[in-house]
Amino acid sequence: MKPSTCQAGVHRLMEYLEGTLPTDVRAELESHVAGCPLCRAFVASYVATPRIVRSVTEHAPTAEQLRSLRAFLQSQHGRG
């Protein structure tokens, strides 16, 4: 098997997090991530994302937040 690269690791990330990778592939990927600061940061952010999304969507937005969001979206309409 070829050494893992960042790109190959990204393509297998879901399998890695779900624990469905073959043992040898998982070990190779873990070895790569352990030595690659960018991949470590990517995996950490990927793992944290569901928690962050839950924390922000836990409560309905206030009327002021909705007004602010509408104003922002209207200011952006037609830009691009």
Domain ranges of the chain: 6-76
User: What pLDDT does residue 14 have?
Assistant: 86
Place 22 in a pLDDT band, splitting at 50, 70 and 90: very high
List the CATH code of the domain at 6-76: 1.10.10
Give the tokens for residue 41.
């940061």
pTM: 0.58
State percent of the chain over pLDDT 90. Answer: 42
> Could you tell me which residue, 42 or 2, shows the higher pLDDT?
42
CA 13/CA 30 separation, integer angstroms: 11
Give residue-wise pLDDT tens across range 30-58. 998 999 999 999 999 988 998 888 888 88
